[in-house]
Structure 1
Amino acid sequence: MEPNRLQQIAAIVRQAGLNEQTLAVLRETFGDTHFTSCLDDDVGNVEPVHRDTAFNVYLVDGREHCLKLTTDLQSATGVLLAQVDDAD
């Protein structure tokens, strides 16, 4: 995954918000990348590759049998968009 793509993804989510419609647009626009979402509190003690006001971006490595979070752009096959709670 290219750093430019991460910036494009973050810009789309920042503008449209993190919701099912935005995920559908991302999946259509970046068809070779898997997208999923959750609450940031559900992620655990992993640092995001991008922090934003309302969401954080994590990378997913799905090349092996089990999915795992990664910070390595070259091994990323997916993106996890995590909604940040205003109280955090």
Structure 2
Amino acid sequence: MSIALELFEAIDATLATAAADPAAVAALRKIAPGVHAIRCDKTDIQDETPFRSYENCDLFLIDGRDHCVKITSDPTVATGLVVAPKR
């Protein structure tokens, strides 16, 4: 299941000033039911390029279509969201 492009407006509004904390992840899960949303430390994905960057956090997209999950920049194949703090 990919993420509908229309959801990115709501995702942007949710993460515009949010911290990368459990409340932000819960909010993402609420606006995008069925889409995996997690938080991870920036050091865990430091070599990846964020899909979007906000004031306090970065957003990465997950492609989980195969057996191995990977970061993607293509929203049409994204199956999940990763929020990481900027600091």
Do the structures match in fold with TM over 0.5?
A: yes
Give the TM-score, by structure 2 length. 0.82
What letter corresponds to residue 8 of structure 1 in structure 2?
A
RMSD across aligned positions (CA)? 1.7
Greater than 6 Å deviation, 4+ residue runs: none
Which ranges of structure 2 fall in alignment gaps of 5 or more residues?
A: none
What letter corresponds to residue 36 of structure 1 in structure 2?
I
Alpha-carbon shift at residue 2 of structure 1 (Å): 4.0
Secondary structure in 2 matching 1:41: helix
Partner residue, 1:65: 67
Which ranges of structure 1 fall in alignment gaps of 5 or more residues?
A: none
User: Which structure carries more helix by proportion?
Assistant: 1
Q: Does 1:6 align with 2:8?
A: yes
Give me the identity figure in percent: 27
What letter corresponds to residue 72 of structure 1 in structure 2?
D
What letter corresponds to residue 23 of structure 1 in structure 2?
V
Q: Which structure carries more relative contact order (alpha carbon 8 Å, separation 6+)?
A: 2
Question: What is the aligned residue count?
Answer: 85
Is the 1:41–1:84 Cα contact (8 Å) retained in structure 2? Answer: no
What letter corresponds to residue 48 of structure 1 in structure 2?
P
